[in-house]
Amino acid sequence: MTKNKTLYTLPHLIMRRLILIATLAIILVAPAIRDTDEGFAKRYDRPTMGGTYVQVIEAAASTYNLPASLIAAIIKVESGFDPRAMSSRGAIGLMQLGFSTRKAMRVSNPFDPVQNILAGAKYFRSLLDRFEGDVEMAVAAYNAGPEAVERSGGVPPYSQTRQYVPKVMGYYTQYESGVAID
């Protein structure tokens, strides 16, 4: 009686190797994402307990050519750095992604800080491009929607948006100067 040998094809071996590499990458990279360096935590006004989002914010900033301090300012105002934040209108996570934004950015888990921050940054980049680099208009559009900003020719006359824009810009300025916010 002969033993039945399993022959591994080249694609099968490559797939096994990729799975091994991905597993190792997760094991090695996960601690970096949860960096607890107190200097970074103070810079972005987050508690060090439970990990920080500095690497994710900086990766998103680098990927979408945005200031990390601006992404951090949006997160501060949107969710107070709470990855489980939910609004009454269905916006979810750190950057409070609405349903249509989650769908457009192909976010499968809006509570995942990495997916949420990357999608929020990508969406903000598109707004910044749409408003030709005008940060205040892009911030207003992030809150009220780009159509509302275009209709009003500036920050829409909504009280929430009129309060939101200066808050984000204030945190942005403070984070940019390195001042920690208590």
Q: Which residues are catalytic?
A: 78
One-letter amino acid identity for 62? Answer: S
117 touches 105 (CB < 8 A): no
By CB neighbour count within 10 A (0-12 exposed, 13-18 middle, 19+ buried), where does 104 fall? middle
- Exposed, middle or buried by CB within 10 Å (0-12, 13-18, 19+), for 98? middle
Phi, psi angles (nearest 5°) of residue 153 = 70, 20
Beta bridge partner(s), residue 130 = none
